[in-house]
Structure 1
Amino acid sequence: MAGIYIHIPFCKQACHYCDFHFSTSMKKKDEMILALAKEIEWRKNYFGNELIESIYFGGGTPSILEISDLRMLIDTVYENYRVSETPEITIEANPDDLSEERIIELSKIKINRLSIGVQSFFEEDLQLMNRAHNAAEAKKCLEIATRYFDNISVDLIYGIPGLTNEKWQQNIQVLLDLNIPHISSYALTVEPKTALATLIKNGKIPTPDDGVAHDQFLLLVETLENNGFVHYELSNFGKPDYFSRNNSAYWLGKKYLGIGPSAHSYDGKNRSWNIANNALYLKSLTENVLPLEVETLTTTDRYNEYVMTGLRTVWGVSLHRIESEFGDTYLKYLLQNAENYLKEEKLQLVDNILKTTNKGKFFCDGIASDLFWLNLE
């Protein structure tokens, strides 16, 4: 089983914290849609005869596209790939794009999962992040969406300056009251060259407090697990049968194909990525050239990626897989470097599976980096 990711590089406005590739100019939108369809068709042999189990529209903001654009891209995938009978087809959407009419239209074009970027239900948070919607729009769109879609994911951000634990708990409770089955939640991160970084540097916004973020993460985990969610990946919580197939493919090392500027692909051995420039992407496609770079992963690369993704998930890192796929040297190295974390009870070893404990979850990326083997080859 494999997945297709389609990057829609357009947004109404730039969120202060975002460092993804996008443009706020829609002048080349029609040209871009045709180029995306062209790349989808060109790369139809990427998976061989493998079945496609997920199609994911990310960005950017895919929900700003016309229904006819989305339908055409989905049809192009179906015409050129073997798609399973019950695929997961997701579109990322912002609340201000989701009128009842638009939600109904989306439900009629094979899309069966909405990923809605709410981030917060408080006006001051939304304004700080420069979101295009307001709190009332966020609540209204979710109330409407639940009438037409069963499979809904909502994004929330914690660690926002000024966001108290009480307000954070209220954000979570809104989603619980609406019976949202999947929640993705991230700490507010200050990425270089973003508006947020500039605002903090100029003293207009306080620096996010790591201690507050940690406390709110623990509150999130406890609250959602007590309400029947599985914390199946560091930033993702799902009710049983509602895990994201698209995201799970990345963490489980499945193959995926990325379409569009800045999109990444993985075929099991090689990782590739398209140029992160709309004009150059369009120019290349016009000249019948795929504007991508390719990296062949070494054994060490694959080991490090497996450790990193495994520790972020409920599936952990299998010692049997480490030994059979990478060899005894890697296994001994992993166990040696994990020893202190096992003693500190940030890692646990159960049935030959190495996992983070509740104490270690928030720090799993740092733990993984200490288990990397960087200079073996």
Structure 2
Amino acid sequence: MSQKLTTEYSPETRLAQALGYVDDSTQGLVPPIYTSTTYLRDEDNQYRSGRVYSRADNPTYSPVERVLMSLEQGTDALLFSSGMAAATAVFQGLPAGSHVIAPTVMYWALRAWLLNWGRDWGLRVSFVDTSDITAIEAAVIPGETALIWLETPANPLWGVSDIAAISELAHHHGAKVAVDSTVATPLLTQPLSLGADYVMHSATKYLNGHSDVIAGALITRSVDPIWEKIRMVRKQGGAVLSPHDANQLLRGMRTMHLRVRESCQSAQWLAEQLQQCADVAQVLYPGLPDFPGHAIAAKQMQGGFGGMLSIRLQGGEQSAIQTAARTQLWKRATSLGGVESLIEHRASIEGPDTPVPSDLLRLSVGIERKEELLADLLQAFAAAQ
């Protein structure tokens, strides 16, 4: 396959052309789907093709992984069956008994995994406010902390962590840094260029962008022993997506720059409008000047502050639940990053141990007309009274 577009071209151009992909045998501009699960050995029992079994070697993954490496400025990339499979593979790549640091407020499913399976496996987990570098430094155990996991902006309060400063601190103590950059996408932040060692995406979200593929991805700054273990975790655990989903993911990624740009612009406008609404007690969005993490977000996010925001309502939990029940354009559904706008009462999803306030609604801003999205929220606020 011919892929010729290098970093001299913009991310938008590289995405639209999938790095200039052209199929060598057919001159097709869209990569084929390779459904074969196994590959022929040479007569002397060697595998000179480099491919043995689809679980690790399916060529349908390669175009997507190359695009991600290019966008994130990494040296290698791996696709996974889900964002959770990708995230947990990083922790499984560490020696048993490792000490790790993770955000107090983060993606709920991974937090639950760390609290349960991770600790049962032997991980020692410290949850801290990763927007506070002093708190991170206090939690580091010299010679024992193996990994600092960041999520920035962090779901669903959208706290911002200083990737460059935390990476410098971690490396000083011999620890690695992994960043869940799902919300920022590779278009707004490139954690590896800021010093992080690994970046994770729930590709289900903005990378695919159409709510019809479950996938995850990891990209590394260098091929180190942990990365080699992560590769083995994927291969031996079988956490791979289907060739059809890999191909569909690449199709979605080709328009990511258009979708993300629209979502960012609409989210910024909505956040500013909702700040003036009497029914809203607080708007949480990194693009607002009075947001606690705004200065760091402005430093490490280029082109926008993401398509996610949350609002806390004056009427409390019941007002939040009733508002979500009365929207028409905003769909009550779990997930984010799709072309359609979603609304969700996170506390009821996460359960009694959640750190999320009960009066909070999480908003994933799609690509609909922003004025209509605002009008829908305003009528829902009124109907919930």
Compute the TM-score of the two structures, normalised by the length of structure 1.
0.25
Structure with more strand by fraction:
1
- Return the structure number with greater helix share: 1
TM-score, normalised to structure 2, is: 0.25
